[in-house]
Amino acid sequence: MDINPFDILKNAKEIQAQFGKIQEELSLLTTTGSAGGGIVKATLNGQFELINVELDPITVDPRDITMLQDLIVAAHADAIEKMRSLIKEKLGPYAAGLQGMSSL
């Protein structure tokens, strides 16, 4: 069986174009995680960057900063898990090949 190098290059370019489109689509995604019954919310973009934190005023108690810090971390973790699920859903069959990636 002969392998045509031009076919390989053509397929590689098609795959690269598909992944470029996927990356563009992922960059438009956002998801919000929450903690403490929704009193702390963290929003991520498709690159897992934290783009917003919302705090209910009741969470701002100078006597309990530790609780607020824990709630922010928990909301961020929730947002990460939601983003991972959303990306896997969007990628469909491509997600199987990316299961080993630490960011997913």
The residue length of the chain stands at: 104
pLDDT digits (tens, 9 = 90+) for 9-61: 778 888 888 888 888 888 889 999 999 999 999 999 998 999 999 999 999 99
Determine, yes or no, domain membership for 17.
yes
Query: Domain containing 9: what range?
Result: 5-92
What global pTM score does this model have?
0.71
pLDDT recorded at residue 102:
47
Q: How many domains does the chain have?
A: 1
Alpha carbons 3 and 74: distance in angstroms, whole number: 51
Domain membership of residue 104 (yes or no) is no
Residue 98 maps to a domain: no
Question: What confidence tens digit (pLDDT) does each residue in 77-95 have?
Answer: 999 999 999 988 887 766 6
pLDDT at 96: 59
CATH label of the domain that carries residue 86: 3.30.1310.10
Reported as a single tens digit per residue, the pLDDT across 54-72 is: 999 999 999 999 999 999 9
Does some domain include residue 99?
Answer: no
Residue 103 included in any domain: no
Q: Are 79 and 33 in contact (CB under 8 A)?
A: yes
Secondary structure of residue 104 in the 3-state scheme: coil
Structure confidence at residue 42 (pLDDT): 98
